[in-house]
């Protein structure tokens, strides 16, 4: 009887080989020009560039959008999440301004449970914690924010201006729209025929 070779030793954990498991990347979509980007979901990919391609296939085939970007999940800095009517900005402490080099961070708010994080704006900071403290001064309003994400802008794989035409759809391709099937009209017609 042939047996499988022994794999590893009990009690000894060895690091996984490179690309043994794909990384997770967060996907953000801009539904219309001028609208803020919103978090749409995640994809698994071996690198940022392929994550971009997979995100385009997974999240923009069925509806129109004007832009998309992806970022490694490990680069998303997350605040605590609050309950009830507690605004997360009440938990964000002031941080003395750092003398280190500043970089830009994209700030996202979760304004309603069960919905997606929406882009609030950009701040200049040295660290994610400082970015959230600056966001508190800049973006806090009377609306309850349940959670904040801070993402270093340089870590994001944006859609370049040359790639913008990826989302141009031809107006005659109505077969992609559910409304073009006129299912309601067909059902109504069927019901009228069967009751007469």
127-143: pLDDT as tens digits: 999 999 999 999 988 89
Give the burial class of 144: count Cβ atoms within 10 A of its Cβ; 0-12 exposed, 13-18 middle, 19 or more buried: middle
Mean predicted confidence (pLDDT) in 90-94 = 91
As a whole number of angstroms, the distance between CA 50 and CA 57 comes to 11
pLDDT above 90 for 61? no
Those residues whose C-beta lies under 8 Å from the C-beta of residue 89, and which sit 6 or more positions away, are 136, 140, 145, 148
Spell out a b/e string for 91-106, using b for 16 or more CB atoms within 10 Å of the CB, else e. Answer: ebeebeeeeeebeebb
Between 40 and 191, residue with greater pLDDT: 40
Output the pLDDT for position 40: 94
The model's confidence at residue 120, banded by pLDDT at 50, 70 and 90, is: very high
Position with higher pLDDT, 192 vs 109: 109
Strand runs labelled E in 7-85? 23-30, 38-45, 67-72, 76-78
pLDDT exceeds 90 at position 37: yes
- The neighbour count for residue 167, using CB atoms within 10 Å, is 16
Q: Give the per-residue pLDDT at 178.
A: 58
Residues 74, 83 contacting (CB under 8 angstroms): no
Residue 5 has pLDDT above 60, yes or no: no
Mean of per-residue pLDDT scores for the chain = 85
Q: What is the pLDDT of residue 78?
A: 95
For residue 1, what pLDDT band results from cuts at 50, 70 and 90? very low
Q: Provide, rounded to the nearest whole percent, the portion of the chain with pLDDT above 70.
A: 80
Q: Is the pLDDT of residue 153 over 90?
A: yes
């Amino acid at each position: 009887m042939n047996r499988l070779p022994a794999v590893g030793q009990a009690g000894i954990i060895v690091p996984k080989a490179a690309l043994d498991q794909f990384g997770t990347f967060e996907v953000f979509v801009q539904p219309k020009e001028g609208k803020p980007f919103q978090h749409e979901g995640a994809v698994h990919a071996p690198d940022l560039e392929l994550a971009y391609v997979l995100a385009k296939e997974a999240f923009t085939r069925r509806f129109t959008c004007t832009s998309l970007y992806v970022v490694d999940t490990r680069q998303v800095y997350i605040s605590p999440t609050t309950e009830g009517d507690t605004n997360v900005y009440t938990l964000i402490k002031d941080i003395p301004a750092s003398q280190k080099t500043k970089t830009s961070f994209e700030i996202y708010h979760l304004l309603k449970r069960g919905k997606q994080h929406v882009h609030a704006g950009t701040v200049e900071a040295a660290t994610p914690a400082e970015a959230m403290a600056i966001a508190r001064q800049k973006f806090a309003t009377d609306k309850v924010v349940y959670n904040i994400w801070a993402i270093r802008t340089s870590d994001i794989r944006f859609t370049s201006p040359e790639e913008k035409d990826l989302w141009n759809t031809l107006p005659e391709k109505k077969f992609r729209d559910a409304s073009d099937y006129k299912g309601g009209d067909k059902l109504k017609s069927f019901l009228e025929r069967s009751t007469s």
